[in-house]
Structure 1
């Protein structure tokens, strides 16, 4: 089996992020955690994921500080997985992925799950990218300033 190259030391923040949460199972586990799932068995049932893969991803997500394993509050032998502040900071990533999917992967009238404001029941507004001064930015208005090897 080919080992995946680690991107932990990469100069690109996107590459380092993908090193931690870049596989679909990890992002789906985080999505489920945002939806209130806490138990191994519930993650497995909801996702249809193999036990060994789920155990591996939960181990990685807890090791990276995205989820925290805590004892069952009811005193059972099980543990629960909860989003940490670092994990909760992934909300814009999850929202951006779902909004991109809504825009590009569904027919206009095709039904799909909705993300709504829990206070109003209204759909969450589309995310946008803004400059420091509040201007709306597009792909035409941004550049990546790369780190040169000699500057590192």
Structure 2
């Protein structure tokens, strides 16, 4: 078996973040957790993922502090997976991927799911990157300061 390269000691925050999430199944689990999935069966039905893959990804997300296991909210013997504060901090990442996908992978008028604000039912404004002074920035306006 090929051993996965670990990036958890990298000096790059993007590399460490990718290492923590692991793969696309894990990010889709986080997406579904934001949508209200809490139990193993809910994740499996929503994603259509094999049980062994889901089990591995859930364990990894729990070990990484993105999800936590709690007793079932209905008092049954089951348990549920809930986002931790660390996991909830992934919300802008999920929104950014959603908005990028909306802009680049759907034909005009093509049906798709839509993220709306709960109070008014309206779509979200596009995410923007801003300077400390509030000025919108693009990639050409930034530079990465490398660790010496």
What TM-score do you get using the length of structure 2 for normalisation?
A: 0.97
- Let me know the Cα RMSD of the aligned residues: 0.8
Query: By how many angstroms is 1:71 displaced?
Result: 1.1
C-alpha distance in 2, partners of 1:71/1:117?
29
Which segments of 5 or more consecutive residues in structure 2 lack a partner in the other structure? none
Q: Equivalent residue for 1:92? A: 92
- What do the CA deviations read for 1:101-127 (whole angstroms, capped 9, x no partner)? 000111111111000000010001100
1:134 aligned to 2:134? Answer: yes
Query: By how many angstroms is 1:72 displaced?
Result: 1.3
Which segments of 5 or more consecutive residues in structure 1 lack a partner in the other structure? none
C-alpha distance in 1, partners of 2:100/2:73?
37
Query: By how many angstroms is 1:77 displaced?
Result: 2.2
* Count of paired positions: 148
- What do the CA deviations read for 1:51-110 (whole angstroms, capped 9, x no partner)? 111011110111111111001132322110001111000000000000000001111111
C-alpha distance in 2, partners of 1:139/1:73?
44
Runs of at least 4 residues off by over 6 Å: none
